[in-house]
Amino acid sequence: MCDAGSVCNTEPNALRDNVDIPGWMDKFLVGVGLPGNPPGSLSTGGLKHPLQLGSSTTGPAIPWRRANVRHTSNELYVDIVETLNVTLAPSGRPLAAITNGSIAFTSRISGVPDLLLTLSASGGKIGLEKAIELPAFHPCVRLARWKERPGELSFIPPDGKFVLAGYEVNLMPSIHDLKSWSDANLQLPASVEVLKSLGPNGADFEIRLIIHNTFPGSASASQIQRPAFASRSSGTSTPVFGGGSNAAPTLQDVVVTIAIPSAARSVIDLRASRGEAYFTASESVVEWRLSTKAAASSGTATLKCTIVGPVDDGDTDGLVNGFHSGSIYGAYDEQQDAYQASAQEPIKIPKTRDKQDAQDQKKVQLNAPLMPSSASLSFSVKGWLASGIKVDGLMIDN
């Protein structure tokens, strides 16, 4: 909603109270010739309440929540969603590890509830304060309570689905702790390695997917407990909190993407020990997908591929991406002397091994620019967060 070109309200709940939205009943009444509220028929331009200049009313007391909210069943759902971005060096040493998280909230509570959501992390409140960087909160959150007691979110929620807060967690240590920090401190459920220029011609490469299936800080299926729930409400309806699964965390939607240089003509002979792999020529990308069942067991999965490079007409040694096209493979050389003409000459045994080694070395050099330089791994896990943040409890005062 804008006033004289300035945005004055962006809350969906407040807009529903002020802006008339035609429903099926209005369309039915207009269709049979009875008076209704079709779009644009209101003299106030679609507003339920006309705006008055100089009015002292600036809006409802709680602009993000509709008035007189009523629900037949009261429900609350909290979901913490994190996106983990990790960059690894060819040696496997982590270069960057950042987690971006958001707290998605769904509230269907009658009246005006006052909620208190408690978060925790390893190290207690001090660890939570150090872990969460650049927090961003919904306007309903009381910032003074968060500053006084980190980890406690006190708020009156909007009605429906909304994002309560967002945050960023740097999983890499500080400069002072970097010397005592090792690669084992960053425990990932899965990682990927790239081995290139393999085979006698250097036209093969191998992708190794190391699956650990270890989720630091997570409990087993028998140890998972729902967050504590308390209510100081005197109403007759009982709010429901939770609704998640009690299953142990598992890897899902595992996809390894390998970018192939555009100079490569194709990728053939894709051999995956688990899952399925295919090459998309239009995007020059190899995708390797593993099902949940294939990624359930720990170990190392491999994908072996062969690069086919462009045809080189100027190859004087008769090599086309590792393939021979010379006379020894059936092409007749008209300049070759007759057998009788060379009968009197002494027989010279060529150094075939040295020549073959030189040819193989040249093949490796020609195929080196066609090798992939990196691979990206994406996966999803339900029931585990890389930052270790979890919901301890939710208290309702209705």
The pLDDT, as a whole number, for residue 136 is 93
pLDDT in tens, 137-152: 999 999 999 989 888 9
Mean pLDDT calculated for residue range 246-268: 89
The pLDDT, as a whole number, for residue 247 is 67
Percent of the chain with pLDDT over 90: 37
Q: How confident is the model at residue 275 (pLDDT cuts 50, 70, 90)?
A: very high
Q: How confident is the model at residue 65 (pLDDT cuts 50, 70, 90)?
A: confident
Dihedral sign, Cα of residue 181, residue 183, residue 189, residue 192 = positive
CA 155 – CA 142 distance, rounded (Å)? 6
pLDDT in tens, 1-43: 566 566 565 666 656 555 666 666 667 666 666 655 544 444 4
Q: Which of 386, 377, 371 is nearest to 275 (CA)?
A: 377
Mean pLDDT calculated for residue range 369-376: 92
pLDDT at 270 over 60: yes
Mean pLDDT calculated for residue range 66-89: 91
CA 86 – CA 8 distance, rounded (Å)? 40
Whole-prediction pTM: 0.68
CA 40 – CA 37 distance, rounded (Å)? 8
3-class state of residue 307 by DSSP: strand
CA 109 – CA 306 distance, rounded (Å)? 59
CA–centroid distance for 377 within its chain: 10
The pLDDT, as a whole number, for residue 386 is 87
pLDDT at 326 over 70: no
CA 74 – CA 45 distance, rounded (Å)? 35
Q: What angle do CA 276, 218, 162 make, to 5 degrees?
A: 85
Pairing of strands 190-198, 204-211: antiparallel
Helix count (H) and strand count (E) of the chain?
5, 21
Q: How confident is the model at residue 217 (pLDDT cuts 50, 70, 90)?
A: low
CA 88 – CA 168 distance, rounded (Å)? 19
The pLDDT, as a whole number, for residue 345 is 54
> Mind giving me the DSSP string for 197-249?
EESTTS-EEEEEEEE----TTPPPTTT--PPEEEE---SSS--EE-----SPP
Residues 6+ apart with CB under 8 A from 143: 137
Mean pLDDT calculated for residue range 64-68: 84
The pLDDT, as a whole number, for residue 93 is 83
The pLDDT, as a whole number, for residue 23 is 66
